[in-house]
């Protein structure tokens, strides 16, 4: 089965699902949207994201070659066993959940006629919902794929083609390794941003001048605090150990930074902060810096 | 003296000084650039930021109606007493330093023929130097003005006109109040970003896949860690008490967030993280969110 001949059914027409649908349109035989609310299907049809849509999950997946669960992590965990019996033999069952350990464990329990594949596209927006969906959302982003031992090479190739079809770069990663990495590079920044907003709210916000002096720095650093709460709670609850470990390391690093300011040793500050600046610049080569 | 008839001399042709000069060009009688390096003057002239330039400070300020010190905070502290004897009577002497307490104390010691006015424009870039200067840099930003008791209404009006001349919104703020506010909304975010980069560097960076999975969230949250180190050290050393106080509050708020993840109480998480999200959204009304 290649992508061009496949029927892809996407379950969940939020930001991620609807954007994926829109990006896949024309790249496969048929894009079907399945959602609980009829209104979401209407919008997806009106905006040309899907070929057809349904609020009947069983109907939506019955003839699918690929099914993608585009719902929050704990909804995915509930949906996996429910949906299994509805799928035709050989169907590729993917998800877009931000944490992979528990989903992989659940996928391992699926009946043998299903080909499971964990997926996690590293993109998103601060706002959620189909209203802000964009078929170009996945372009240029890394799309993590976490195959299970039982996942066939053919199924993996189809998942890869799907990621590439929406302009993303597939990256094969084991579930544990992905959960460890995203705890630090994705979930930790969210919590730091939350603590920053809470700090400002507890102190400077009392001064009416506070928001007039907010520079672009606070804006960037606090941006993630505006993320969708339901999605983030799902992530934090299903990647708790790794997130707590990342927070622990962060606390130690923050203490180092505090000691640096307390000591006020200029040479030491120049050395440490200079090295950090260099590291940050290496993370994002100059060619990419304009879009920050 | 109104701005249109004034000679404005800007000392320091880095990002902030050269951008201010470019923004003022044509809005006053003459913009003079003073810098240590002849090369900076050449670039400023070539890019049309100044009417004329000099590497001789005394010559540059001799006939000035306004002098703006656009150097790092501790350079300003050194320059204030040096420059005082060179200025004509009634000259407005401003600065663009990011911390105001120590500068205000130094300004209070200036000879009586000078009109001192602290200034702090809430804008900047991650990169420094005249190469990235932009006459539009100040447009729409808040420009804090901290007059001393001895500052005349006329001098303050001229400072206000200068800020408005480059498209900024003047905001009168006492030095202590500005230092308290910016410690939380500007200096703290820099240090959090540094600790985040250090955390990633100490853990996930060991994995070659780490930078492939970095999403836009890490990019925003860590952005300030790329700030100019000399400027930031000056800021941290001259606003140390307020920065340490802000760090202390932040540590408490971070502990609250950690406890929230540890406890894993979904309702409590929804309440706390939801309130933080609401606060963040109120800080930046929807109309502004597109540019993040």
State residue B64's pLDDT score.
Answer: 98
pLDDT, tens only, A189-230: 999 999 999 999 998 877 888 878 876 789 999 999 999 999
CA distance A212 to A88: 58
Of all residues in chain B, the percent with pLDDT exceeding 90 is 87
Mutate to test the interface with B, among A181, A234, A269 (most CBs of B within 10 A): A181
Chain B contacts of A100, Cβ < 8 Å?
Answer: none
Chain B, residues 206-245, CB within 8 A of chain A, namely 207, 209-227, 229-230, 232-233, 236-237, 240, 243-244
The pLDDT-based confidence of A286 (bands split at 50, 70, 90) is: low
pLDDT, tens only, B207-258: 888 878 876 789 999 999 999 999 899 999 999 999 999 999 999 999 999 9
Q: Does A85 touch chain B (CB under 8 A)?
A: no
Contact B177 A209 (CB under 8 A): yes
> Which of A217, A244, A284 lies at the smallest CB-CB distance from B189?
A217
State residue B206's pLDDT score.
Answer: 79
State residue B288's pLDDT score.
Answer: 47
> What CATH class is the domain B3-173?
alpha beta
B96 has a pLDDT exceeding 90: yes
State residue B217's pLDDT score.
Answer: 86
Of all residues in chain A, the percent with pLDDT exceeding 90 is 87
State residue A289's pLDDT score.
Answer: 43
Q: What ipTM score was computed for the predicted complex, to two decimals?
A: 0.86
Both tokens of residue A112? 């043998």
The pLDDT-based confidence of A67 (bands split at 50, 70, 90) is: very high
Q: Does B138 touch chain A (CB under 8 A)?
A: no
State residue A70's pLDDT score.
Answer: 97
The pLDDT-based confidence of A287 (bands split at 50, 70, 90) is: very low
Extended strands (E) in chain B: 7-11, 30-34, 52-54, 66-69, 92-95, 115-121, 142-147, 169-172
HSE (side-chain half, CA atoms, 13 Å) at B51: 14
Average of per-residue pLDDT values in chain B:
93
Q: Does A246 touch chain B (CB under 8 A)?
A: yes
Chain B contacts of A266, Cβ < 8 Å?
Answer: 233, 237
pLDDT, tens only, A78-119: 999 999 999 999 999 999 999 999 999 999 999 999 999 999
B168 has a pLDDT exceeding 90: yes
CA distance A209 to A204: 9
Contact B192 A254 (CB under 8 A): yes
The pLDDT-based confidence of A292 (bands split at 50, 70, 90) is: very low
Distance from CA of A89 to the nearest CA of B (A): 32
Residue in B with minimal Cα distance to A199: B250
Supply the CATH classification number for the domain A177-289: 1.10.3660.10
Query: pTM for this structure?
Result: 0.86
Q: Where are the domains of chain B?
A: 3-173, 177-289
State residue B157's pLDDT score.
Answer: 98
Residue in A with minimal Cα distance to B137: A216
Rg of chain B taking only CA atoms, in angstroms: 21
Burial of A75 (0-12, 13-18, 19+ CB in 10 A): middle
Q: What are the backbone angles phi and psi of residue A137, rounded to the nearest 5°? A: -55, -40
HSE (side-chain half, CA atoms, 13 Å) at B140: 5
State residue B182's pLDDT score.
Answer: 93
Chain A contacts of B202, Cβ < 8 Å?
Answer: 249, 253
Total beta-carbon pairs less than 8 A apart between chain A and chain B: 311
Contact B147, B119 (CB under 8 A): no
Q: Does A268 touch chain B (CB under 8 A)?
A: no
The pLDDT-based confidence of B286 (bands split at 50, 70, 90) is: low
Chain B contacts of A185, Cβ < 8 Å?
Answer: 200, 204, 210, 213-215, 217-218
pLDDT, tens only, A223-281: 999 999 998 999 999 999 999 999 999 999 999 999 999 999 999 999 999 999 999 98
**Per mean pLDDT, which range of A112-116, A181-185, B90-94, B200-204 is the poorest?**
B200-204
Chain A, residues 155-184, CB within 8 A of chain B, namely 169, 171, 173, 177-178, 180-182, 184
Whether the domain at B3-173 and the domain at B177-289 fall into the same CATH topology = no
State residue B283's pLDDT score.
Answer: 83
Name every residue whose Cβ is closer than 8 Å to that of residue A278 and which is 6 or more positions away in sequence: none
Going by C-alpha positions, the residue among B277, B193, B1 that lies closest to residue A216 is B193
Distance from CA of A270 to the nearest CA of B (A): 7
Torsion sign over Cα B102, B108, B113, B117 = positive
A290 has a pLDDT exceeding 70: no
Chain A contacts of B171, Cβ < 8 Å?
Answer: 209, 212-213
Residue in A with minimal Cα distance to B247: A258
Average of per-residue pLDDT values in chain A:
93
CA distance B284 to A211: 9
> Which of B181, B197, B280 lies at the smallest CB-CB distance from A222?
B280
């Amino acid at each position: 089965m290649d992508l061009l001949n496949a029927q892809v059914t996407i379950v969940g027409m939020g930001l991620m699902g609807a954007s994926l649908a829109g990006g896949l349109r024309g790249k496969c035989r048929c894009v079907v949207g399945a959602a609980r609310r009829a209104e979401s299907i209407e919008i997806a049809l009106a905006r040309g994201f899907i070929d057809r849509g349904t609020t009947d999950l069983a109907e939506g997946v019955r003839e699918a070659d690929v099914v993608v669960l585009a719902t929050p992590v704990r909804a995915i965990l509930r949906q996996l066993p429910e949906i299994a019996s509805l799928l035709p033999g050989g169907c590729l069952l993917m998800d877009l959940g931000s944490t992979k350990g528990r989903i992989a464990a659940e996928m391992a329990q699926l009946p043998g006629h299903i080909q499971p594949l964990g997926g996690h596209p590293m993109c998103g927006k601060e706002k959620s919902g189909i209203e802000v969906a964009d078929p170009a959302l996945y372009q240029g982003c890394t799309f993590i794929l976490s195959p299970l031992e039982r996942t066939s090479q053919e199924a993996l190739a189809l998942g890869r083609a799907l990621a590439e079809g929406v302009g993303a770069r597939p990256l094969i990663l084991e579930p544990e390794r992905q959960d460890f990495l995203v705890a630090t590079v994705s979930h930790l920044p969210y919590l730091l941003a939350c603590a920053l907003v809470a700090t400002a709210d507890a102190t400077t916000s009392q001064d009416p001048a506070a928001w007039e002096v907010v520079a672009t720095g606070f804006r960037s650093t606090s941006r993630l605090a505006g993320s969708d709460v339901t999605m983030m709670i799902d992530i934090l609850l299903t990647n708790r150990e790794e997130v707590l470990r990342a927070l622990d390391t962060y606390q130690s690093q923050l203490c180092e930074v505090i000691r640096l300011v307390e000591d006020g040793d200029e040479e030491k500050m120049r050395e440490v902060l200079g090295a950090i600046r260099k590291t940050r610049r290496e993370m994002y080569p100059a060619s990419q810096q304009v879009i920050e």
